[in-house]
């Protein structure tokens, strides 16, 4: 794959997009990167500023649903590849306000796909010469597969069974991506990853919430019985996987990316509390408690809460030689340390 091109990254001021742009810009300094981001509440302006040290990087503040803007970008920037992260991503928000999830995740993906297809293709199956390397990489989630019982793993052929408006909107966008491959012969790839963790994640997500509440000695809310299982993937491992699939994955294929780290939510909360007991033992006496674990409080379960997610990542491991490198115990420690250094 030719990297001397302009890559459009959408949602690059969000958690995973920020890590990915650092990774990609360091590895391929010749590639121009345009980051199209609406800079919603989920974007991190301070961290986005730091991307400006890369001479080939620029931010375009705008909405992926804005067809005029997207078309202008494709033309003016000569976009030759897309890595599409932009989405409304928080399940709880999708329960109280699904409209924006439908708009951004489904309609926004459609606008990007349709523009790319028109810009990259002359007639069905035939691309302008020199554009053969144009590829659309859609970032999706394991949540499209619904929930697992005590055993089993999600593979790329697991049937879709989304249970929240968020996962339903991501599943819908996956179907659109699939259709542009089968109908228009566009070069698309998709990745489905498990829950990411690491520095720079928005404070509303599970791990940052646990850290924030524990640091402020507030009750740490855990849904239901706390035994819901997620397969945690360190964000930098995810970025390496995306790079491999974008450059070497087979067109029309989807690849699951998971960290082999199944943990219950209550395990995560206890682990973070143990780390804070070591790092901030002095603050416990203000609250008259012996461990931050005493702050863990079980609250009413989230409606439609999937019980267990776990990924079978054998396809990306065998085809593209990817392996998760971060050990969960060290990854979570690095994450907690980062939040303690960035309390603001
Ligand atoms: P995030 O919420 O941290 O960031 C999303 C970014 O998209 C933000 O910068 C936001 O401003 C931008 N955005 C939102 N709506 C937009 C619009 N209409 N136009 C342009 N930009 C818009 O999300 P994240 O955690 O970095 O996730 C990135 C992608 O990975 C998403 O597609 C998500 O579904 C997927 N994913 C995330 C996880 C995870 O654990 N974080 C797991 C599986 C899949």
Chain segment 299-311, per-residue pLDDT in tens: 999 998 999 999 9
Residue 268 has pLDDT above 70, yes or no: yes
Of the candidates 90, 20, 81, the residue with the CA atom closest to the CA atom of residue 48: 20
CA gap 214, 209 in Å, rounded = 8
Average pLDDT, the chain: 94
CB pairs under 8 A, 24+ apart, for 22-29? 22/51, 23/236, 23/239, 23/240, 23/243, 24/239, 24/243, 25/51, 25/54, 25/56, 25/57, 27/243, 28/3, 29/54, 29/56
| pLDDT 10s digits, 80-98 | 999 999 999 999 999 999 9
Average pLDDT over residues 231-242: 97
71 pLDDT band, cuts 50/70/90, is very high
Query: What distance in angstroms lies between residue 54's CA and the mean position of ligand 1's atoms?
Result: 22
- Lookup result for tokens 């803007």: 69
Percent of residues in the chain assigned helix, strand, coil, to nearest 5: 45, 20, 35
Judge whether 143 counts as a catalytic residue: yes
- Lookup result for tokens 């339903």: 168
- The set of residues, in sequence order, having a beta carbon less than 8 Å from that of 195 and lying 6+ positions away, is 206, 230, 231, 232, 233, 309
pLDDT for residue 171: 98
pLDDT for residue 72: 97
1 pLDDT band, cuts 50/70/90, is very low
Average pLDDT over residues 24-39: 96
Judge whether 142 counts as a catalytic residue: yes
pTM for this structure? 0.95
* Superfamily holding 6-202+232-261+311-326: NAD(P)-binding Rossmann-like Domain (3.40.50.720)
| pLDDT 10s digits, 158-215 | 999 999 999 999 999 999 999 999 998 899 999 999 999 999 999 999 999 999 999 9
Q: Domain locations in the chain?
A: 6-202+232-261+311-326
- Lookup result for tokens 């968020």: 166
- Lookup result for tokens 């698309």: 188
Q: Which atom of ligand 1 is nearest to 39's Cα?
A: 11
Q: Which two tokens stand for residue 31?
A: 């590639």
Residue 115 has pLDDT above 80, yes or no: yes
Greatest Cα pair distance in the chain: 71
Q: Which atom of ligand 1 is nearest to 43's Cα?
A: 9
pLDDT for residue 286: 82
pLDDT greater at residue 129 or residue 44 = 44
Q: Please state the ipTM of this predicted complex.
A: 0.99
142, 174, 187, 306: which one is catalytic? 142
Pocket test for ligand 1, best of 10, 12, 13, 14 (most atoms within 8 A of CB): 14
- If one counts every other C-beta atom within 10 angstroms of the C-beta of residue 151, the result is 7
57, 119, 145, 166: which one is catalytic? 166
Average pLDDT over residues 129-156: 88
- The set of residues, in sequence order, having a beta carbon less than 8 Å from that of 219 and lying 6+ positions away, is 213, 295, 296, 297
């Amino acid at each position: 794959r030719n990297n001397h091109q302009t890559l459009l990254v959408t949602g690059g001021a969000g958690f995973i997009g920020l890590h990915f742009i650092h990774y990609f810009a360091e590895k391929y300094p010749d590639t121009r990167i345009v980051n199209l981001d609406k800079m919603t509440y989920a974007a991190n302006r301070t961290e986005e500023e730091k991307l400006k040290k890369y001479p080939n990087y620029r931010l375009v503040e705008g909405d992926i649903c804005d067809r005029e803007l997207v078309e202008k970008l494709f033309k003016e920037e000569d976009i030759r590849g897309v890595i599409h992260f932009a989405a409304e991503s928080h399940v709880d928000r999708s329960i109280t306000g699904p409209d924006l999830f439908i708009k951004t995740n489904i309609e926004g993906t459609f606008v990007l796909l349709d523009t790319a297809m028109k810009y990259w293709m002359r007639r069905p199956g035939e691309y302008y010469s020199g554009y053969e390397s144009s590829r659309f990489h859609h970032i999706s989630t394991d949540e499209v597969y619904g929930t697992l019982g005590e055993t089993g793993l999600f593979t790329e052929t697991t049937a879709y069974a989304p249970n929240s408006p968020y996962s339903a909107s991501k599943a819908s966008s996956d179907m659109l991506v699939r259709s542009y491959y089968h109908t228009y012969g566009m070069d698309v790839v998709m990745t489905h990853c498990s829950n990411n963790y690491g520095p720079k994640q928005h404070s509303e997500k599970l791990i940052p919430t646990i850290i924030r509440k524990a640091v402020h000695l507030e009750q740490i809310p855990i849904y239901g019985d706390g035994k819901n299982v997620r397969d945690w993937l360190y964000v930098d491992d995810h970025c390496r996987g995306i790079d491999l699939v974008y450059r070497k994955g087979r067109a029309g294929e989807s690849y699951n990316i998971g960290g082999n780290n199944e943990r219950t939510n209550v395990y995560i909360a206890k682990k973070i509390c143990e780390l804070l007991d070591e790092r901030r033992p002095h603050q416990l006496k203000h609250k008259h408690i012996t461990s931050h674990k005493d702050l863990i409080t079980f609250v009413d379960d989230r409606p439609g809460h999937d019980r267990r997610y776990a990924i079978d990542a054998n396809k990306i491991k065998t085809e593209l030689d990817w392996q998760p490198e971060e050990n969960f115990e060290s990854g979570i420690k690095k994450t907690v340390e980062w939040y303690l250094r960035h309390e603001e």
